[in-house]
Amino acid sequence: MLRASKSWTQAQAAKEIGVSTETWGNWERKRSYPDVPNISKIEQVFNVAYDDIIFL
pLDDT single digits (tens) 6-22: 999 999 999 999 999 99
Asked whether 18 and 39 are in contact (CB, 8 A), the reply is no
3-state secondary structure of 52: helix
Q: What is the pLDDT of residue 55?
A: 59
Where residue 51 falls among pLDDT bands split at 50, 70, 90?
confident
The whole-angstrom separation of Cα 26 and Cα 49 is 21
Q: How many Cα atoms within 13 Å fall on the side-chain side of residue 10?
A: 10
- CATH label of the domain that carries residue 17: 1.10.260.40
Residue 38 CA, distance from chain mean position:
8
Give the chain's domain count.
1
Q: State the pTM of this model.
A: 0.85
Domain around 48: 2-52
Alpha helices in 1-56 (DSSP H): 2-5, 10-17, 21-28, 36-46
To the nearest whole number, what is the mean pLDDT of the chain? Answer: 91
